[in-house]
Structure formats: C-alpha cells, structure tokens
Structure 1
Amino acid sequence: MDIKTLHDADIIGISTAKTAFDTLATAFGQHIENWQHEVVDRLGHSEWTGTAAGHANTRITDLGTELQAAKQELGLVSRALQDAYDGFAAAQANLVSALDDAKTHKLTVADDGGITWDKDPNSPNFAGNDAENQAKQIQARITAALNEADHADQTINARLAHLATNASNGTGLDSATAKTDTDAANALLQAPAAGTDPNSVKAWWNSLTDDQQHRMILNHPEQIGNLDGIPAAARSEANKTNLKNLIQDRQRQLADLGPEPKQYLGYVKGEPVINPEYEKWKAKRDALQEKLDGFQSIQNRLDGKLDGGMGGPGSNPPLLLLGIGDQGQGRAIVSWGDPDKAKNISSLVPGLNSTMAGVGGGDAKTAKRIYDSAENSARANGDVPPSVASVFWLGYDAPQLDGPSVLTKDRAVEGGEAYNKFLAGLRATHEGAPAHMTAQGHSYGSLVVGQATQHPGGLAADDIVLVGSPGVGVDKASQLGVGADHVYVGTAKNDPVANAPSPGMLGGLGAAIYETFAHPDASWHGTDPASQTFGGQRFSVADGTVTDSHDNYFGKDDKGGDSLANIGKIVSGHGNTITREDPR
C-alpha cells in the first residue's frame, strides 16, 4: 500500500458491494421461505408414504438445512465487506488528516512518504524551528495509516477467500461450518460488559484471533480502551482512536450550539436583566469547552506538542493512554512505560481540584517524575536494566472547590471501586512473574485508595503510599490489607489538607475540647495517617509552606525535599531504604 493508492481509493465501491450482498441475502431468504411454504409444508400435509417418500423427506430436510447455511454465509460476506469499508475508511481518513497537517506546517510529502521542508528562516515557506519534530510525527502517522490499510486489505482478502472457497466446494452448505463462521464473526461484536471481572475479560481477549482483536479495537474503541483486563498496548491503541472521536464529537456539538444569544434582555432601573436563553447556552458551551480542552490537552501530549515532545511519538519511555471517557467530569488514565511488561508499577490517584485538562499537562509530568525517581532507585540498588511503569489514574470525579464534595467520601467510594478493578486488570494482563505494584494516593486520592482496599479480595497492590492525606477511611494502617509495614505516609508539616481538623473540631468549643482529648489523632476522614496511632511508615518530606506544601510531594519546583526520592525507592521495591521521619 502506498500513499497515492490509499489517498485516491474509492472505498464507496466496497459499500456498494455490501449493499448488493444485502439485497441478495434478502432475496435468497425469500426463496427459502417460498420453498418452505410451497414444497416442505405441502409435502408434510400430503399422504405420500413409503420408502421413496422417506428418502424424499430426508433429502428435503437436508436441503432446507443447506439453504439456511448458505443464507448465513451470504450474510457473512456482507459483514466482511462492512468491516473492510470501516477499516479502509479509517485508514484513509487518518492519512488525509496527516497530509493536511503536513501542509499546515509547510512540509512537503513525497509519494514515497519522504518529507522535506524549507529551512531558510527568510523564506515565506520557512517551516519553522520545530519542523523536524513535526515531520517525524506526521511520518509516523502516515506509516500507521498505510499499515492500517494493509491490514484491512489482507483481512478482507482472507475472509472473502475463505467464504468463496466454502461456496465453491460446498462446505458453506454445511450447518456446522456456517455456525463456526458465524461464531467467529459474532466474536467481533460481543465485548464483555463494563465491570466484568478482569480475569474473565483477559480470557475472552485471549480467545480471539489476532484479526478479531484488531477488529474489536477498530470497531469498538470506546469499549476496548476502557475495559479492565485488556492488555495495555491494545487499550492504548483503542483509546487513541476514541480520543480523536471524542474531540471531533465535542467540536461538532459546539458548532451545533448556534450563535450566542443576547446576554441581556434590557435594563430595569439601570440594572441589566439576564437573558435565560443566554445562561442556558453559556452553561452548555462552557461544559463542552471544558471537556474539549481536557481531551485536546491529552492529544497534544500524545502528539509531542508539549514540553519538547515529551510523550509524543517515539518517546522513551512511551506514553500509553489506558483510559479516556466523557463520563462525569471526564476520565483519563496515562502510563509512562508498559505496565504489562514492567517489573515495578506505580499507580497514582490524584485528589482535590484534579481535572482532565491537567492530565495532559502537569499531571503527566508528575507521573514522569515518579517514573524517573523509581528508575534511579532501581539503578542505585543494582536493578539493571530498571523496569518501571508509572500510571496517573483519573478514573473518577475528583472533588472541586466549587462544592462540599471534598468533605464527604461519596466520590471516594465510587472511585475506589473503579480503582480496585483497574489494578486487578493490571494484575490480570501482566506478562511473566507478578509485578511489584504500588498504589499511591495524593490528597483526596488517598481516601480513594483507602476505599479501594476495602473491597472483597483487597487491592492488587504490594505497597501503598499516602501523601497529603486527610484520612483514608480506616483507623489503622493494618486495615489496608498490605501490612502496616508496607503502608508509607508522607505529610508536610505545613500541609493545610493533611492537617485539616476533624469534623468534631468544628462543632464549637466544647466539641473541640472533647475531640482533642478523646480523639487526638483524628483527621477529616479517619485517623491521621501521619500519626503514631495509625501505624504506617512515615517518610521524610520538606515542611513547605501553607501555600505550596500540598503540591510538592512529587518534586514540583524541587521543593519536596526527600519526598520524591523516597517515593521512587518504594515504587522500585526498596522501601526499606527510605529516609524516615517520626510519626506525630
């Protein structure tokens, strides 16, 4: 497959052929129905008996079975053509998009895929200082589109050749053959429901052929990408497709909103009267734009448009997209490195004020800093080559400061269930010996982790890290299911979230005095994880200030002290080497 062939391909012909086979299958079905009424039913109501009648009835019954099998096979040709159309259409659209972007960036794409550009800063066609990086990204997209078209071509050839052979040698008239072929086609359409046990999902995925897996990714990216138990590489491929679909859908919805209504209907006593239609329009527009900005920030990260290409095509480690969706405030899960292959896996749950837009920006860098710290710790301890995957998991609606949600555990309960399933999925799909897995919770995210541990079977983690925690919903580290000596706590002296008073402290002077003496280690959501009563392993972090300490546990602006290095030691499986701090 080459650029010109794919670009100029008239794929409408495939759709036309599919329609023709639909018409043929319908007509054939009518013939079978007529056969049933005019021959089978008439013969059944006749009084013909004897040896010849017996042989005739047997043959007529067999013929009816053969006709039904043939009808099934005709239907499978139609389905194969539809899948082929979908595959070629997706590949062609991706190629055209890449070529359009090349033109936008003043890059010239040759027929063989080579890319050149004007390097003269004084030329009106100067492609800019980032041209080489843009060229690499576009070339990768072109190659992927051509590979997709090749795969679709090989797949349709194989499927149609199989069905043609069945038709020519008569095996397509066999009901068992038709059932096998139909079951194989149906497998392309039936993904397990969301929430299915990840081990069952993995068993289903493994039962599919390579072609069936590929078709599921192509035809149902929103299901496959967010299904725990699907291997990470397949999830990422599906989610990257779904992300583009989500961006296009939000762009379309914004365009469909129509022109902005008048903001004011007029004035009464000099005060403007708000137009209710404007308020409705603006609320819809703002919600759509917020989601679009979030999706676009992640796409920009994957395209290498942020931080010098970090996370873009060819980055080392690769950035995988393990989850994306528009439920609630939006869902996004990214991973530096492949968790199916890594020896050590970290999965961080963020807390207060986390948004989808942040995942593509600073949150992705947070996960990368954890990755780097864990790799450094692994090397320092003789683990060569180091093997790490660092996940940032925004799989729930994190509380925002526009309401009281941060004060309750409702979102943590819901998020904890999803997080529990996600880690179980990583366990199910991991290759080779079980990985060393660290569950991390920051701020309200630590409560999510705490709730995740309370599900039957516990949490698929070996170590737990809690930083800036307002409590995790339990009173003892030993209640988190990994052993108190594997629960690590980092709390900055001046962190206003981790040091927030318990609810009882807010109930007036008498209640505050009682709470101080009766529950001196109480936090907002249970016992203070940094306290001696809780029983975790407290590691050293910088004191920070009231304004910056809560955000500095992961090395932001180099203000976290030993915190990031300690987290890297824990993630790499060397928690026994942390710099310790006495519990309070």
Structure 2
Amino acid sequence: MDIATLYNANINNIAIAKNAFDALATAFGQHVEAWQHEVADRLGASHWTGPTSDTAQGRIKDLGGELQAARQELSFVSKALDNAAEQFALAQSHLISALDDARNAKLNVGPDGRITWDNEPSSPNFAGAGAEARAVAVSNRITAALNDAVHADQEISARLSRLAANASSGTGLNAATVAQDQAAETARENIPAVGTDPNSVKQWWSGLTEAQQQRFVDAHPDQIGNLDGIPAIARDRANRITLQQAKQNLQLQLDHLGPEPPAKIAGMSGAVSNPAHDEWERRKALLQEQLTGVNAIEKRLVTKVDDAHPPTYLLGFDTKGNGHAIVAVNNPDTADYVSTYVPGTGARLGEINGDIIRSDRMVASADEATKRSKTTSSITWVGYDAPQSIVPDATLDTYAKSAANSLHSFESGLRATHEGDPSSNTILAHSYGTTTVGHAMRDKGLPVDNVVLIASPGVGVEHARDLGVDPSHVFVAKGDIDKIDMAFPQTADKLASNGGNNLGTWYGLIQNPDHHLIHGRDPMIPDFGARKIPTSPDTGHSDYWNENSRSLAAMGEIIVGKWNS
C-alpha cells in the first residue's frame, strides 16, 4: 500500500458495491420466502403420502435449510463489504489529515513518504524551527494510516475469500459451516465489556483464531489493551498502537491550541485575570505533561533489552483525565514472581517515568535475591485516578474506594492469563497507594500472596488480618525521617487517643501505644499485626527505592519469598 493508492482510492465504490449486493441479497431473501410459502408450505399441506412423498418432502426440507444457509452467507458478505468501506475510509481520512497538516507546516511529502522541507529562513517556504520534529510526527501518522489500510485489506480479503470458497464448493449451504462463520462474525463484533470476569474474557480470547485476535488488536486497540483477561503480549501490541495514536493526537492538540490569550482583561475596577488565559494555560500544561509521560513510556519500550533493561510490556493506557498507564517489566504471564506496584498521591501519566524506574529496581533486587534463577515481573499500576494534592485530595478515601473494582479486576486478570504453574504474586504500594490497596483488599479481596505497605497513612482496617491474607505475609515500612505518621486522624476521639498514647510513651507508661492516622490505624504499630521491614538511615518519604537501600533489598526478597525478619 502506498500513499497514492490510499489517497486516490474511491471508497464510495465499495459502498456502492455493498448496496448493490444488499439489493441482490434482499431479492434472494424474497425468493427464499416465496419458495417456502409457494412450494414447501403447500406441499406440506397437500396430504400427499407414501414413500415418494417422504423422499420429496425430506429433500425439500433439506433444500430449505440450504437456502437459509445461503441467505446467511450472503449477509456475511454484506457485512464484510460494510466493514471494508468503514476501515478504508478511516485509514484514508487519517492519511489526508496528515498530508494536510504537512502542507500547512510547509513540509513536502514525496510519493514514497519521504519528507523534505526548506531550511532557508529568508525563503517564503521556510518551515521554521522544529520542522524536523513535525516531520517525524507526520511521517508516523502517514505510516500508521498505510498500515491500517494494509491490515484492513488483508483481513477483509481473507473473509471474502473464505465466503467465496464456501459458495463455489457448496460448503456454504451446510449449516455447520454457517455456524462457524456466524461464530466468527459474532466474535468480531462482541468484545466483552469492561468489568467482565477476567476468566470469561480469557476463555473468549482463547476461542478466537489468531487472525481474529489480530483483527481485534488492530481494529479496537483501546478496548483490547485495557481489558483484563487478555494476555500481556496482546495487550502490549494493542496499547502500543494506542500510544502512538495518542502521541499524534496530543501533539495535534498542542499545535492547534491557538495563540495565548491575554493574561488580563478589563474589569469593573481595573484589570482582572482572564479565565480564557487560565484555561489555555491549564490545557497546554496538561497536554505537555501527558506527552512527557507518553515519551517516557515509549523510550522504555524501545530500550535495547539487556540485563539492566528487561523487556517491557504496556498493559494499559489512556489519556482520560490526568491519564493512566500500566507498565510491566518482564512478562507477568510467564514470570515465576509477579509484583504490582501502586503509587500514591500525584500518580498520573505525566509522572510515570519515576514509577517505571522503581519497577526496574524491584526486578533487579528480586534478581539479586534469586541469582537470576527465576523470573520476576514488576508492574507499575497507574490504573486509577490518584489524588493530586495532599490537602484536600489525599485526606479523602473516595479515590481509594473508586479504584477497588479496577485493581481487583487487574489482579484477577493476572491470575487468569498466567501460563504454567501459578506465580507468587505480591501487591506493593506507597503512601496513598497503600490506602487504595487496603480498601480493595477489605472490600473486594485481592488474589495475592504478599502485601507490602510502604509509608502508609492508614489502609482502612484495624488489623493486618482484615486484609484477607495471612498477617505473616503483610509487610510494612516507614523511614526514620518520613513524617507520614504525623497525618492527623479523621475524628476527634482518635486525635485525643493519639495524644494520650504519645504522652504515655514519652513518660514510659505505655509500652505498646496505639496510633491512628488519616485513613485508619497506623500499620507500623505492633497491634496492627504486620511484619516490619528494615529501612536505611535518613530514609524520607520518597527514598525507599534508592539504590542499595535496605528497604529495596527487602522488597526484592519478599517478592521472591526469601525475606525473614
């Protein structure tokens, strides 16, 4: 597929062919109905009996079934032509849009897709600063449009070839063949809804042919890439497509943001802030930040694989709100040990790079613990809307409660798609992420073997056993200079209780003080029932993943089941 072929394609001809075929199919359907009424029904009511009647009526019954089968096969052809028109039109529109933007940016696109531009500032065709970056973006969009057209051509051709073969061989008159084609048609159209049990999703996916699976990845990457129960490799393929589309779309929105409005406008008592300027700045900042996150993910995905940089899989992605992403270091479907890391306040697409680095370090720590005798996958899960401010956002439990279903579905999906013997799975969270994990475990239950709660402001339960796992597999940590335990409790009675316990501890009257934080009992106190893991001296709120730290080493050992206090 080249630029000229797709650009000049007359998509209307496909639509015309589809309409003509529909007219043929309608006429055939009317013929079938007339035959049923005038021949089959009349013969059945004729009271004709005997061996010859039995033979004739049996054959007529069979013929009725064959005609109905042929009628269904014709409907499949019509659907394939309809899909062809839709998919080719979409690919063509993407190509035309890219070429239009290239022309507006004074970029010259050759027949082979090569892009050139005028670098002479004095020339009327000077492309301006940043021409190379814009050329790369346009080139990627052109390539994506051509690839979409190629995929559509291959998939539609295969469908029509099968239906044509059915017609020429007569197998299209067979009910079993029609049932297979109908199942394929249904599978093409019916993607399980978000929230469907991941085990059912995995069963649906496994029942598709490889070609059908590829069609879903190509045609519906946003749905397949974010559907729990789809294997990691397929989700990664789908999300890489969505990532590139999002990158192009974000850049396009930035390019078309328009000139900056004035910061001030005239008011009743002088100049006042311009709401249009504030919205323009907010929108620009969000687009730029999300592009930063997209670029960070893309950079990690294409990093050459070596011991320090295992392969990476994009298991979830979208730009809704502040954006979401789920990035796995190593394939969780084949790993012996799988950990999911849930970050806290401030987590969003634009800040994903630091969280991916933490996943890389946890894999390295686990590898050190096993001497690379086993495989560990560490997943950064920014699959929820995290609070973006300490006050008031992080004081509310609504963000944690809203994430419970999504986190439960994701963890269940890891179990559903894992190959071979079950992996040992660990859920590991930081700060408000521990609150998110706590609510999910309390309200939904998570299919995990270990829980690691780092710098927690409370997890919504009073005791480790309330998380639904053996308390000996619940681990907590807080650094010596981390002030998270100064988070006030939500109620006055707990504040008074904290004060009394502090005083009693200072004067040596209480050996085992209780303490409540903004989201429940402090997991670090002995009565919570969790196991403490060590931290290095001078560990602050964001220092737990520092290289060579005691906490990072302990995390790796816990993930692979080798840590003991």
- If the length of structure 1 is used for normalisation, what is the TM-score? 0.76
SS of the residue corresponding to residue 188 of structure 2 reads: coil
Which residue does 2:356 correspond to in 1? 367
What's the CA shift for 1:494? 2.6
Matched, 1:551 2:542: yes
CA distance in 2, matches of 1:11, 1:294: 38
Instruction: Give the match for residue 30 of structure 1.
Output: 30
Q: CA deviation at 1:464?
A: 2.1
- Distance of 1:245 and 1:141 partners within structure 2: 8
Per the alignment, residue 531 of structure 2 pairs with 536
Match of 2:516 among 516, 522, 540: 522
Deviations 1:369-418 (A, max 9, x none): 4323532552464225x633222112222123286342232321231332
* 2:483 corresponds to 1:489: no
Partner of 1:296: 291
Deviation by residue 1:254-311 (Cα, 9 ceiling, x = unmatched): 999999999999643x25688xxx85x7898678667644543343234x4xxxx443
Aligned to 1:311: 301
Partner of 2:507: none
Q: Distance in 2 between matches of 1:23 and 1:313?
A: 54
Note if contact 2:387-2:394 (Cα within 8 Å) is conserved in structure 1.
yes
Residues 40, 480 of structure 1: alpha-carbon distance in 2 compared, 3 angstrom cutoff: same
CA–CA separation in structure 1 for the residues paired with 2:290 and 2:266: 37
Q: Does the CA contact (< 8 Å) of 2:514 and 2:525 recur in 1?
A: no
Partners of 2:279 and 2:27 in 1: how far apart? 48
2:30 and 2:241 map into 1 onto residues whose CA distance is 40
Counterpart of 2:419 (choices 431, 438, 454) is 431
2:164 partner letter: A
Give the drift of 1:213. 0.8
Change over 3 Å in CA distance of 1:131–1:489 after alignment to 2? farther
1:459 to 442, 446, 455: 446
**Counterparts of 2:355 and 2:322, CA distance in 1:** 21
RMSD of aligned Cα (Å)? 5.0
Residue of structure 2 in register with 1:449 after alignment: 437
Deviation at 1:363, TM superposition (A): 2.8
CA distance in 2 between partners of 1:26 and 1:567 (Å): 66
Indicate the larger mover: 227-236 or 501-510.
501-510
Answer yes or no: is the 8 Å Cα contact 1:542–1:561 preserved in 2.
Answer: no
Q: Distance in 1 between matches of 2:195 and 2:85?
A: 31
1:564-575 equivalence runs, <5 A: 564-575=552-563
Deviation at 1:206, TM superposition (A): 0.8
Following TM superposition, by how much is the alpha carbon of 1:541 offset from its aligned partner in structure 2, in angstroms? 3.5
**Aligned partners of 1:265, 1:48: CA distance in 2, in Å?**
93
Code of the aligned partner of 1:453: M
Distance 1:245 1:142, change over 3 A: closer
Instruction: Give the secondary structure class of the aligned counterpart of 1:80.
Output: helix
Q: Deviations over 1:336-365 (max 9, x none)?
A: 33222333322111111222xxx3x54333
* 469-478 vs 375-384, which moves further: 375-384
Q: Is the 8 A contact 1:230 1:429 kept in 2?
A: yes
Secondary structure of the 1:182 match is helix
After TM superposition, the structure 1 stretch with the greater mean CA deviation from structure 2, 140-149 or 440-449, is: 140-149
Q: How does 1:168-567 map to 2 (within 5 A)?
A: 168-244=168-244, 267-268=267-268, 270=269, 292-293=287-288, 295-302=290-297, 304=298, 309-312=299-302, 316-325=309-318, 329-355=322-348, 359=349, 361-379=350-368, 381-384=370-373, 387-401=375-389, 404-455=392-443, 458-504=445-491, 512-513=499-500, 520-534=514-528, 535-544=530-539, 549-555=540-546, 561-567=549-555
Q: SS of the counterpart of 2:380?
A: strand
Question: Which secondary structure state, in structure 2, belongs to the residue aligned with residue 570 of structure 1?
Answer: helix
1:86/1:298 CA distance change after superposition, 3 Å: farther
Q: 1:72 deviation in Å?
A: 1.0
| SS in structure 2 at match of 1:323 | strand
Residue identity matched to 2:189:
L
1:230 match: secondary structure: coil
Q: Amino acid of the residue matched to residue 371 of structure 1?
A: D
Structure 2 residue identity aligned to 1:370: S
- Is the deviation greater in 244-253 or in 152-161? 244-253
Question: In the alignment, what sits opposite 1:162?
Answer: 162
1:129–1:241 CA distance, 2 compared to 1 (3 A): closer
Counterpart residue type for residue 389 of structure 1: S
Amino acid at match of 2:462: D
Whole-angstrom distance in 2 between the partners of 1:149 and 1:9 = 11
Question: Hey, what's the Cα distance between the residues in 1 that align with 2:355 and 2:495?
Answer: 39
Q: CA, structure 1 residues 290+197, in 2 after alignment: closer, same or farther (shift >3 Å)?
A: farther
Q: CA deviation at 1:10?
A: 5.8
Residue in structure 2 matched with residue 121 of structure 1 by the alignment: none
Rounded to whole Å, the distance in 1 between the matches of 2:229 and 2:465 is 28
Report SS of the residue matched to 1:465.
Answer: strand
SS at structure 2 position matched to 1:551: coil
Kindly state the Cα deviation for residue 445 of structure 1 after the two structures are TM-superposed: 0.4
- AA aligned to 1:311 is L
The answer as to whether partners of 2:369 and 2:560 remain within 8 angstroms in 1 is: no
Give the drift of 1:21: 2.6
